[in-house]
Structure 1
Amino acid sequence: MTVHHDTPYASASVRWLTLLSICVATFLMPLSMSAVNVALPAIAADLNADAVLVSWIPTMNLLGAIALQLPAGRIADMVGRKKVFLAGLLLFSLSSFAVTLINHIYWLLLMRLLQGIAGAMVFGTGMAIVSQVFAQHGRGMALGLTSTSVYLGLTCGPPIGGWLTEWWDWHAVFLAPLPLAILCAVLVAIHVRETERLQDEKLDWIGSLLFIAASSLFFVGLSGLPALSGGVLAGCGLLLLAGFVYQQEHSPYPLIRLRRMVQNQVFFRSIQASFFMYAANYPLQFMLSLYLQYIRELSPAEAGQLMLLQAMMMAVLAPIAGRLSDHFDPRIPATLGCLLFASGFMVLALLDQDSSMTQVVIALLVMGTGFGLFSSPNNNGALSVVPTDRLSIASSLLNISRTMGNMLGMAVVVFLFNLMIGNAQLVPEQYPALMQLLQIAFALCGGYALMAAWRSWSRGKVR
């Protein structure tokens, strides 16, 4: 595949202000996500939600993100990345404010769905903007700093969520990011230039609707297993997904050119590695929050502070790993990161009610190191083989792999809750079953990370 690079950002100051604008937004989204995870017990108590509904709070965010990711990326390439980016920020702000007006778990789940859609619009365009701006000026380092902003959001989220939940209530967790969202919108409006539109192409509405329906049905069905209705919905989702693949091969303006993507080994296996790593990573904070607060009886603030460790390591190492991937083959640090991440999960799988907190600390430090080594090199390797006029859709595909991985990881956890606990409240009588569930889930996540290591190494050399 021939790669073309535009260089409209000749000024270093403009490049860095653009990067700052994107980093504020990519800090904001994970900040909100990780803060909400720590507030889950308080939300469950206030809204009288059972264990399955509580597990849907982080899951609904994923559903919105996965269903709209491809259409959002395609629209961004057509009408301009800046417009879609700003629209995502606006939707996120409005849905966060609306949480203060609700008093039922189902309305909260709807707002989380809208926040997921907003995240698809922001992440599907943000990484594409950074990749284009820094195409010839240290892209790996810039992507590493973007990843660092994500991890800083993850780092700040748990303690902020814990403090706000204890000192005010859980509604404050949704309100706190709003000032940053306004600041980010101002920075983007001033410093980010609009990308050139693809005037000769149109949005594939049939493909978009097929993808939204297929991903939604499969996700909801997977989360509803082992019930028969869950299996039926998941099967319908797979049938629609097959129809989407067929339709894309015959559409004059497809969302993605599947055959070309599969033939591009570096890009295709990079998104596979991303899929498995995020399947392992996304349920981690949810599961640790339950372990630390229910089984070990830590406060929300104490649990959040302990979960800082992983994100801190990720934040420190991501720009370093990105810089290394500008000079060395990206698959080397990325694969090493996958293996370290898997080893951390094996340590967590050995936890029980009486384990030392040192065991948790060691696991989180190792896992933070592993994910910090993986993320930036993997993204740099994938985007370095994509033409500039397809960066938004390529960025969206990377985010789809991340979100589908998140979806798989969280859906399996929801399935385990349905199977082992059901609709019961998480009271002390349920703690032995909860501990067994967490041990199984940690072991499964370690297996996902090993799969990611295999796909990362087998992509071959980028340079």
Structure 2
Amino acid sequence: MTDASDTAYSSASVRWLTLLSICVATFLMPMSMSAVNVALPTIAEDLSADAVLVSWIPTMNLLGAIALQLPAGRIADIIGRKKVFLSGLLLFSVSSFAIILVEHIYWLLLMRLIQGVSGAMVFGTGMAIVSQVFALHGRGMALGLTSTSVYLGLTCGPPIGGWLTEGWNWHAVFLAPLPLAVLCAVLVWIHVRETERQPDQRLDWLGSLLFIAASSLFFIGLSELPSWQGALLGGVGLGLLALFVYQQEHSPHPLIRLRRMVQNRVFFRSIQASFLMYAANYPLQFLLSLYLQYIRDLSPAEAGQLMLLQAMMMAILAPLAGRLSDRLEPRIPATAGCILFGVGFMILAMLDQDSGLSQVVLALLVMGTGFGLFSSPNNNGALSVVATERLSIASSLLNISRTLGNMLGMAIVVFLFNWLIGKSQITADQFPALMQLLEWAFLLCAGYCLLAAWRSWSRGKVHVT
């Protein structure tokens, strides 16, 4: 495959085998992530970790993903998407296997950081490969199926995590994805064609280092607020981010021309909507896992089975919404999805210690419907206005918006833990504070969804080919 032509994918069977290869990987990563969320209370007990360190287990994954997302996308455009994709799978497999040796919380956090880096390599290239392969053959539907694989991973993760944690131990949660990683690597190696190298292009090493430092320091600082150390780190991160923006405008081989991105109204507002929706979505399973296991005293398996309702609805609706966005304005289903997702958070914000589980079920079904309507049309609208030779970096930007949103959502949750609970293990005495934290977090997430609806609708009309 070359960047100028998709003739290597003129065969329908080759296109669908390629899509299957990508879908296996995009199933694998979220399955691992959501399975770990269910195991968090068991991990906390086994490693004697306080509430703040437990909240860093999903957060470290985000830190690795956001820091390497832009460089990974740019490297893929230069040396080839297949190489970067396979390297990400290898790194994920090695770090997952290494977790069986972990006996301290800090080593687990390091492995989660490495898994985040591998996720940046996989997600920064996967969507770009699918977008080019299906550019003339129903891209919205293909992106919808890619989204479905993500939601199927989210669906399978909680019950798998619960069963593995109860049947063996939490280490098994990290080992379970390894056979799928091997299968995915084989499928990608056989069916995905490598993109042409761009020898005239260079990686902007200075820009990459600036972005890694800026995103890492800002994220760590935000999570450490309201301490003065957190404010200092966050301020330095913002300063480096401003320097990164300036440097990118003057670099001969930038990671991204930010001015051009802002001028592309459809793409820029699509990534704004994505940022806000994922800021709302990412903390959801973490927060609900704590509510269901601590407050409602459900087992890990029971909590996982209940939480799969949202992802199940997303998996059903994502390909349908993607196909709809091939025929209809993408902003219509996407904006409706934002509003429904916010309604679900309002329902969750009304939970108390005696609420029936039917209230949680209703909220998850509404939220699954909302996010299923949003994701595929939003991605389809964004990528439809991007040149073929820039698809990897555009895919990385969409994933950066997702990861930045995840980062903001979890950083604020970590801040709330620092403020309301502190560095102590969650016990019955802390349940009132935990309920207050959950209410505030759910209301904040509802606000993110309303802002996302505004940005989604205001992107304007998109002609999707």
- TM-score of the aligned structures, taking structure 2 as reference length: 0.99
Equivalent residue runs for 1:1-20 within 5 Å: 6-20=6-20
Any residues of structure 2 matched to 1:127-142 within 5 Å, and which?
127-142=127-142
1:185-334 paired onto structure 2 within 5 Å: 185-334=185-334
Contact 1:138/1:326 (8 A) holds in 2: yes
Match of 1:389?
389
Instruction: Report the 3-state secondary structure (helix = DSSP H, G, I; strand = E; otherwise coil) of the residue aligned with 1:8.
Output: helix
Compute the displacement of 1:5 (Å). 6.3
Contact residue 7 and residue 132 of structure 1 kept, 8 A: no
Which residue of 2 is the match for residue 63 of structure 1? 63
Aligned to 2:442: 442
CA offset digits 1:163-198 (Å, max 9, x no partner): 000000000000000000000000000000001111
Please report how far the alpha carbon of residue 312 of structure 1 lies from its aligned counterpart in structure 2 after TM superposition: 0.2
Instruction: Output the amino acid matched with 1:140.
Output: G
Paired residues of 1:7 and 1:133 also in contact (CA < 8 A): no
Tell me which residue corresponds to 2:460. 460
The answer on 1:160 being equivalent to 2:163 is: no
| TM alignment of 1:14-163, pairs within 5 A | 14-163=14-163
What are the ranges of 5 or more consecutive residues in structure 2 without an aligned counterpart? Answer: none
Is 1:364 the counterpart of 2:364? The answer is yes
Q: 1:307 to 1:343 in 2, by over 3 A?
A: same
Residue 403 of structure 2 aligns to which amino acid in structure 1?
T
Deviations 1:136-156 (A, max 9, x none): 000000000000000000000
Question: What secondary structure does 2:194 align onto?
Answer: coil
Question: How far 1:6 moved relative to its partner?
Answer: 3.9
Q: Judge conservation of contact 1:5–1:388 (CA < 8 Å) in 2.
A: no
Paired residue for 1:417? 417
* Shift in alpha-carbon separation, 1:233–1:176, aligned structure 2, 3 A: same
Q: What residue number does 2:375 align with?
A: 375
Aligned-residue CA RMSD in angstroms?
Answer: 0.8
**Residue of structure 1 in register with 2:353 after alignment:** 353
- SS of equivalent to 1:174: helix
Query: Partner amino acid for 2:182?
Result: I
> Which one-letter code corresponds to 1:138 in the other structure?
G
CA distance in 1, matches of 2:262, 2:165: 46
Gaps of 5+ in 1: none
How many angstroms apart in 2 are the aligned matches of 1:308 and 1:69?
28
Pairs aligned (count): 461
Counterpart AA for 1:200: D
Report the CA distance between 1:8 and its aligned residue: 3.0
Superposition deviation, residue 102 in structure 1: 1.1
How much has 1:424 moved relative to structure 2? Answer: 1.1
Q: Distance in 2 between matches of 1:277 and 1:197?
A: 34
Superposed CA offset, 1:397-451 (max 9, x none)? 0000000000000000000000000001100000010011001000000000111
- Asked if 2 retains the 8 angstrom alpha-carbon contact of 1:325 and 1:377, the reply is yes
Partners of 2:452 and 2:75 in 1: CA distance: 30
Deviation at 1:32, TM superposition (A): 0.1
Distance 1:12 1:249 in 2: 41
Matched-pair contact (CA < 8 Å) for 1:4–1:387: no
Give secondary structure in 1 for the equivalent of 2:203.
Answer: coil
Shift of 1:76: 0.1
Question: How far did 1:326 drift?
Answer: 0.3
Q: What is the aligned partner in structure 1 of residue 170 from structure 2? A: 170
Counterpart secondary structure, 2:103: coil
User: % of aligned pairs identical?
Assistant: 82
SS at match of 1:307: helix
* Contact 1:330/1:380 (8 A) holds in 2: yes
